[in-house]
Amino acid sequence: MRRSEALEGVRMIRFEHILDRHEAGELNQIDAAEMLGISERTFRRWCRRYEEEGAAGLADRRLNRASGKKVPATVEEEIERLYRTRYQGFTARHFHDRLVSDHQFRWGYTWTKLLLQSKGLLEKAPRRGAHRRKRPRWPLAGMMLHQDGSRHVWLAGLPAMDLIVTLDDASSEIYSAFLVAEEGTASTFQALSEVIGVHGLPLSLYTDRGSHYFLPPEAGRPAGGPVDRTRLTQVGRALDRLGIEHIAAYSPEARGRSERMFRTLQDRLVKELALAGIATVEAANRFIREVYLPAHNARFTVKPEQEDTAFVPVPGLDLDEILRVQEGRQVGHDNTVIFQRLRLQIPPSPLRPHFVKVRVKVRQYHDGTHAIFHGPRGIGRYDAIGGPLDGNGPVA
């Protein structure tokens, strides 16, 4: 017997007992209704139905009747078909989001999850462990950005790549995300350029202790100890010049916000790229920028505690001159500079007959080109493989 039918039987027995007491004059209609937990008007209606139809008149007419809110069987079949043929492997939440946005679905997430589980298409999630309190978010956008990379097979048929993501701690909004062959200095500068160029300078950047962020500890120092703030990487130099505090994480748990975000991306983004039929890195980065990120931010961004912003506008700041690799070199006897296995020949210059044994700066830009500077003046420009560019020579 179903629970609703059992409760119906108990309700009938209680009513008949109280009705007997009412007819014997022990209870008036108000007291009888109160004991049954119903209104006086409802008690009178029940008495009339009992007199006319007997016990059958008091049966709950909703029993054995389909609910007006029940999802039609044809809709259930269509939802199951869509999951099996197009959205196989999606989580219940991701699948429900797609149903609502693309298929005009109007029923709830819980129903969708229970249907998938009942059809054996989705396993029940394991029970969660003890609750752990999350670190409070910073109250203002721009107070702290998280930047990290996740190596994963993002595109079917291609090897694993790094997805570089920069997001705001206050809102979890992703400001920049793109795929590269390998995370490093160039990808960090590209991400910072995209964020700062649109939003301005943040107060701080929170990263792991990868070698492009911080130099490894000197000999004799513990590997897990504090990072060396006296020796800066290319990224550290640029952040220091921009006045952005660089915060190092010392455990995976410390990067919990970005780690949780990457779990979501590894589940959702991979499926969205496959669903869109994307097969190249260039198309994937365009899709991420123009299609995926707006939808992701609309779904997962939370409202910061305060509406103001901590980003600082930087009008007129030449980011390309700051967010690029710059290393010192000594010019060789043949008037060339060796930089990353490239031999850069310095052309004739009106500044001096030659630059042999002179200390110069070599700059590498986002597009792979290079330039050599003696003090503030450029004395040579080169392409990605070290060949001279048109107009190679001194730069004012």
User: What band does 396 get if pLDDT is binned at 50, 70 and 90?
Assistant: very low
Res 84: pLDDT: 93
- Does the pLDDT value for residue 144 go beyond 90? yes
Residue type, 334: D
What mean pLDDT comes out for the span 138-145?
Answer: 94
pLDDT digits (tens, 9 = 90+) for 224-257: 667 888 889 999 999 999 999 999 988 766 577 8
pLDDT digits (tens, 9 = 90+) for 370-381: 899 988 888 899
Strand 245-248 with 204-207, pairing:
parallel
What mean pLDDT comes out for the span 195-200?
Answer: 94
pLDDT digits (tens, 9 = 90+) for 68-116: 677 888 888 999 999 999 999 999 999 999 999 999 898 899 999 999 9
SS (H, E, C) the chain: CCHHHHHHHHHHHHHHHHHHHHHCCCCCHHHHHHHHCCCHHHHHHHHHHHHHHHHHHHCCCCCCCCCCCCCCHHHHHHHHHHHHHCCCCCCHHHHHHHHHHHHCCCCCHHHHHHHHHHCCCCCCCCCCCCCCCCCCCCCCECCCEEEEEEEECCCCCCCCEEEEEEEECCCCCEEEEEEECCCCHHHHHHHHHHHHHHHCECCEEEECCCCCCCCCCCCCCCCCCCCCCCCCCHHHHHHHHHCCEEEECCCHHHHHHHHHHHHHHHHHHHHHHHHCCCCCHHHHHHHHHHHHHHHHHHHHCCCCCCCCECCECCCCCCHHHHCCEEEEEECCCCCEEEECCEEEECCCECCECCCCCCEEEEEECCCCCEEEEECCEEEEEECCCCCECCCCCCEC
Res 1: pLDDT: 47
What mean pLDDT comes out for the span 252-264?
Answer: 81
Query: Alpha-carbon distance 396 to 392, whole Å?
Result: 12
What mean pLDDT comes out for the span 266-285?
Answer: 96
Res 167: pLDDT: 95
CB 309 within 8 A of CB 140: yes
CB 209 within 8 A of CB 222: no
Percent of residues, the chain, with pLDDT higher than 90: 51
User: What band does 203 get if pLDDT is binned at 50, 70 and 90?
Assistant: very high
> Mean pLDDT in the chain?
86
Could you confirm whether domain 145-300 is CATH 3.30.420.10?
yes
Query: Alpha-carbon distance 315 to 143, whole Å?
Result: 19
- Does the pLDDT value for residue 134 go beyond 70? no
Percent of residues, the chain, with pLDDT higher than 70: 88
pLDDT digits (tens, 9 = 90+) for 50-75: 887 777 666 665 555 656 677 888 88
The domain segmentation of the chain, as residue ranges, is 3-58, 73-118, 145-300, 324-382
Query: Alpha-carbon distance 89 to 98, whole Å?
Result: 13
Residue 247 pairs in a beta bridge with 206
Query: Alpha-carbon distance 338 to 331, whole Å?
Result: 8
